[in-house]
């Protein structure tokens, strides 16, 4: 679990609240359920109008991405590709027919199944590219729902303030009521800005970063599987893909050299 998201939200909220209290404000003034209903309800309604049911529920499902660690393109993922290349060099592509695909990333599993079925490199590339583009398009569309919410929230905050000021005008004959009434009215603006800049837009950024990281992993698998389809050696595959991997890839290059040497001896 990625605790940084929760920590960031808590730190941001506490910083705003602490600053307000240090300026002499009263915390009870910030607790206005009417303003909260206007901001969240209005934002929710606007987002639902702009999207379909499927995309709206996808956005809710994608919320978990902000609270889990994003998949990384690391040495382990490249090592898996090199191992598949080693198996293909020793036993041919048909070796993937009997391979246990449990625990393998779904995108990579799809590619291995296509390799096992004997499709050409062109067909494999086209199929994986289409799946990669569809995945990115669907995920990013769902993530943008949170960006939309971040755009609408401040507007509904202003709307809440306007509605509050309309109520204040009913007390113009009682100046004592004006100060507290205006303060309450502007709480809606605070809610709108806070939800936009402490919740909705940061969540969009975190989800988008997660998606981009996942797509990079998909791209690594696709490039590796295409290299295997072209019958390239593990050494060549490692040379091609080492630049995409974060961290030290020297050990992987050495391991690929060993695999290539073993495959040569076996043949």
The domain total for the chain is 1
DSSP state of 69: P
Q: Is residue 198 part of a domain?
A: yes
Would residue 104 count as lying in a domain? no
C-alpha 76, offset from chain centre: 21
Q: 169: Cβ–Cβ under 8 A, 6 or more apart, which residues? A: none
Answer for the pair 154, 196: CB distance below 8 angstroms, yes or no.
Answer: yes
What is the residue range of 235's domain?
29-75+120-266
Would you give per-residue pLDDT tens digits along the chain (267 residues)? 778 888 888 898 888 888 878 877 777 777 888 888 999 999 999 999 999 999 999 999 999 998 888 888 778 888 888 888 888 888 887 778 878 878 888 899 999 989 888 889 999 999 999 999 999 999 999 999 999 999 999 999 999 888 878 777 766 666 666 666 676 678 889 999 999 999 999 999 999 999 999 999 999 899 889 988 888 877 777 777 777 775 544 444 554 454 444 544 444
Tokens coding 9:
């939200």
> In this structure, is residue 239 part of a structural domain?
yes
Residue 157 and residue 155: Cα distance in Å, rounded? 5
Asked if 157 and 189 touch (Cβ cutoff 8 Å), the reply is yes
Q: DSSP letter at 244? A: G
Burial of 149 by CB count in 10 Å (0-12 exposed, 13-18 middle, 19+ buried)? buried
Contact indicator for 81, 237 with CB cutoff of 8 Å? yes
Assigned domain for 132 exists: yes
pTM, two decimals, is: 0.81
Calpha distance 28→159 (Å, rounded)? 22
Residue 95 domain-assigned (yes or no): no
Report pLDDT for 207.
94
- Calpha distance 152→10 (Å, rounded): 22
Is residue 57 assigned to a domain? yes
In a domain, 226, yes or no: yes
**What's the confidence (pLDDT) of residue 260?**
46
Tell me what pLDDT residue 172 has. 64
CA–CA gap between residue 154 and residue 159 (Å, rounded): 9
pLDDT at position 174: 64
DSSP H or E stretch at residue 168: helix 121-168
Residue 143 lies in a domain: yes
């Amino acid at each position: 679990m990625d605790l940084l998201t929760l920590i960031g939200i808590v730190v941001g909220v506490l910083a705003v609240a602490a600053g307000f209290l240090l300026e002499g404000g009263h915390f009870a003034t910030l607790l206005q359920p009417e303003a909260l209903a206007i901001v969240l309800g209005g934002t929710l309604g606007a987002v639902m109008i702009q999207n379909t049911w499927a995309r709206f529920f996808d956005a809710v499902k994608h919320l978990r991405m902000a609270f889990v660690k994003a998949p990384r393109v690391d040495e382990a993922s490249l090592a898996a590709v090199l191992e598949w290349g080693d198996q293909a060099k020793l036993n041919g592509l048909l070796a993937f027919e009997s391979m246990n695909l449990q625990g393998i990333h779904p995108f990579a599993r799809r590619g291995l199944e296509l390799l096992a079925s004997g499709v050409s490199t062109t067909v494999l590339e086209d199929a994986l590219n289409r799946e990669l583009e569809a995945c990115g398009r669907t995920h990013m569309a769902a993530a943008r729902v949170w960006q939309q919410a971040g755009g609408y929230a401040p507007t509904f905050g202003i709307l809440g303030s306007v509605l509050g000021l309309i109520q204040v005008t009913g007390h113009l004959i009682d100046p004592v009521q004006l100060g507290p009434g205006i303060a309450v009215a502007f709480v809606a603006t605070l809610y709108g800005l806070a939800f936009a800049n402490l919740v909705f837009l940061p969540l969009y950024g975190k989800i988008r970063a997660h998606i981009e990281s996942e797509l990079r992993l998909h791209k690594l698998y696709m490039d590796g599987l295409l290299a295997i389809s072209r019958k390239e050696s593990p050494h060549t595959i490692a040379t091609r893909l080492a630049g995409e991997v974060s961290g030290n890839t020297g050990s992987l290059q050495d391991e690929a050299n060993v695999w290539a040497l073993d495959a040569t001896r076996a043949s």
